[in-house]
Amino acid sequence: MVSAKADSTLWKGDLTLHRDGYGFVIPDDTNLPDVFIPERFLNGAWHKDKVVVRVSPADSRGRREGRVAEVLGHGLTQIVGHVVREQKKWWLVPNDDRIRLQVRITSDPIQKLKEGDVVVLRLTHYADDREGPAGEVIQHLDERGSLATETAIVIAEHQLQEEFPENVVTEAEREAREEIHGGHGRTDLRRVPLVTIDGETAKDFDDAVAAQVEGQDIRIWVAIADVSHYVRPGTPLDEEAYGRGTSVYFPGFCIPMLPQALSEDVCSLRPDVDRYSMVCEVLLSPKCEIKETKFYRGIIRSHARLTYNQVQEFLTGNTSHMPHLPDNVLDSIRQLERAAKLLRQMRRDRGTVDFDLPEPAIELDIATGDVEQIAKANRFFAHFLIEELMIMANEAVARFLTNSKAGCVYRIHDKPSEERIEMLIDLMHSLGYKPKVPRPMQPTHISGLTKLVHGKPEERFVNHMLLRAMAQAVYDPGNIGHFGLASKCYCHFTSPIRRYPDLIIHRLLGNVIDRKKGEKPQPVLHKGIDLAVAAKHCSRRERVAMEAEREMVSLYIASFMQQHVGEVFTGIISHCSKYGFYVELNEYFVEGTVPLQKMAGDRFTFDPSRHAIVGRKTKKEYHIGEVVKVRVVAVDMLRRQTEFELV
């Protein structure tokens, strides 16, 4: 066994393989860069393994290469693939190109299998075992290509569990039956005009907000579901929530972190029912100075379940879509708008980086589950209103826990590497821009890059590349600030129904509240887990959820485009590369590829100096932002891709 602590060239982290055979290790230490692992240096390690790598010195561009020195654990517990029969044995050929070994099937009764079956296999032995990798079939799937089968495959390949263990469901239902009443040291806020503001289809309501004028100031209440009252460390319910780490949201459905009895009922801040909450109360001056903060346990009653659309219509003067509400509730919403504008301007002044990358809104047929429409998701000021209030509360709680020396799981975001920013600047030069990023790099300098391309054809592409250049935000008990938000002290407090780090924060905050009353602190995590371990685990679970959500959206888009094969659309070139260019359609928020090798009339190549596609003979050029007509020629449901040809 090798020790990563005893040797500075040995780093511990998670291995991600590429279908071409090489891999990258993401170090556990978030201050260290990713390490490239050539295929010849994998030493038998699998995709998603926890490994120790021996790292070579950085090259002239700061890149590091390594070799796997030890496999500490296997991240894969199940694999999806198709069944083959060879040498009188049954084998699984994995769907995932990054898993390059066939796996022996040991299930009973094997006679139920036939060649070509698509199955989910639970691994019982790995490549480093004497018998080689092996496993047992736990699920049979239908033939590949249908939306239902591919949906099941995304869930299985990301090792997501749709069902909760029976004992966890029983515990959640028992907790949910507890009568909710005042007292127990809770502040009664049932007369405060709190409301929830969420999307049309939301079911788990984490947060309720209200505001009122006090002289020139605004008093703001942010009440968050008190999940910590029901989910206690060390219980089966808590251990299941910890294992999941986060809820995962897909088009039309969700795999929740908590059972429905909690996530959609007793913890959800539904209107006209009493609910326990953790409250952040802030007094905000007209100059956006926080003059006072209070934190306490409360009992609330939401006065309305509002949607972003309703609130946006109300703020723009149209009250026809709003339910009939008392004047104090409506005035509270107006004051929330005023506060959010102050907070938003303050964040812009300090240099917060706003990428403004639109996301697809996928509309489904309720009866069939088929995709009916894919459009750009609307972002109104009503969305920003809630966003600003949540950021304010998250910062306030992080500062309070820091000053109380109570411990904290911070949401940290490191500044981007010099190398990545230099590459981005070179890219922007090829597009005709002349950006400047002074040193030392500050958030205002990065936000300045987004302003350069605002409203330009290249805006989405540059913002996307800038996002890729940024470090990934993670959870950590050590605070380095949040670069993207230009925040010195930040945590996640506002979504404990769907994020485990927020639940940790609630427990830490509850201990400080209780300490002031002379009560002993309660455990924050189950036995054997500390804040550092929990933070790393939650960061990993967040990455899994993001990857699954991204792949599922691509799958649903591919399913939608199957209905449009052969049709012609107008679109805009959104990105060029050595493989071809991407076109974003005008009619639907869908992006597809035009492969270089299939372009007719010339031999086209990619010119990186101008970021353009150029014909060798005709000198015909294609640039980002150019309007083109394309025909949908093919949809690959298995790879979640749509292919276009120029018309």
| Mean pLDDT, residues 298-316 taken together | 97
Highest-confidence segment of 74-88, 90-104, 409-423, 487-501: 487-501
Position 337 scores a pLDDT of 98
pLDDT tens for residues 191-243?
Answer: 999 999 999 999 999 999 999 999 999 999 999 999 999 999 999 999 999 99
DSSP 69: E
Using the CB atoms, write b or e for 103-140: b if 16+ within 10 Å.
bbbbbeeeeebeeebbbbbebbebbeeeeebbbebeee
pLDDT band at 101 (very low <50, low <70, confident <90, very high): confident
- The overall average pLDDT reported for the chain is 93
- Separation between Cα atoms, residue 546 and residue 548, nearest integer Å: 5
Position 7 scores a pLDDT of 55
For residue 624, give the amino acid letter: I
| Percent of the chain residues past pLDDT 70, beyond the cut | 98
Using the CB atoms, write b or e for 579-597: b if 16+ within 10 Å.
ebbbbbbeebbbbbbbebe
- Residue 447 in this model has a pLDDT that exceeds 80: yes
pLDDT tens for residues 4-57?
Answer: 554 578 999 999 999 999 999 988 876 788 899 999 999 999 999 999 999 998
Q: Cα torsion for 113, 119, 120, 122, to the nearest 10°?
A: 20
Give the class (CATH, top level) of 10-73: mainly beta
Range of weakest confidence among 303-312, 329-338, 348-357, 548-557: 348-357
3-state secondary structure of 45: coil
Give the domain ranges of the chain: 10-73, 78-141, 166-411+478-553, 415-470, 564-646
pLDDT band at 126 (very low <50, low <70, confident <90, very high): confident
pLDDT band at 520 (very low <50, low <70, confident <90, very high): confident
- Separation between Cα atoms, residue 168 and residue 176, nearest integer Å: 12
Position 110 scores a pLDDT of 64
| Mean pLDDT, residues 106-116 taken together | 79
| Mean pLDDT, residues 381-410 taken together | 98
Q: Is 208 left (phi over 0), alpha (psi -120 to 50) or beta?
A: beta
| Mean pLDDT, residues 617-640 taken together | 96
| Mean pLDDT, residues 566-579 taken together | 96
| Mean pLDDT, residues 470-483 taken together | 94
Of 182 and 407, more confident: 407
The residues near 429 (Cβ < 8 Å, ≥ 6 apart) are: 435
Of 131 and 484, more confident: 484
Residue identified by tokens 């509360």 is 393
- Residue 522 in this model has a pLDDT that exceeds 60: yes
Q: Tell me, yes or no, if the two domains 10-73 and 78-141 fold the same way.
A: yes
Helices and strands counted in the chain (H then E): 12, 31
Position 555 scores a pLDDT of 98
- Residue 3 in this model has a pLDDT that exceeds 70: no
pLDDT band at 355 (very low <50, low <70, confident <90, very high): confident
| Mean pLDDT, residues 400-413 taken together | 97
- Residue 633 in this model has a pLDDT that exceeds 80: yes
Position 127 scores a pLDDT of 72
- Residue 444 in this model has a pLDDT that exceeds 80: yes
Position 238 scores a pLDDT of 98
CATH number corresponding to 78-141: 2.40.50.640
The residues near 303 (Cβ < 8 Å, ≥ 6 apart) are: 193, 194, 195, 271, 272, 325, 326, 329
| Mean pLDDT, residues 381-393 taken together | 98
pLDDT band at 418 (very low <50, low <70, confident <90, very high): confident
Position 413 scores a pLDDT of 95
Position 94 scores a pLDDT of 96
Position 196 scores a pLDDT of 99
Give the class (CATH, top level) of 564-646: mainly beta
3-state secondary structure of 575: strand
pLDDT band at 483 (very low <50, low <70, confident <90, very high): very high
- Separation between Cα atoms, residue 549 and residue 249, nearest integer Å: 6
Position 562 scores a pLDDT of 97
Could you give the C-alpha distances from 644 to 565, 593, 627, 629, 633, in angstroms and in order?
9, 6, 14, 9, 5
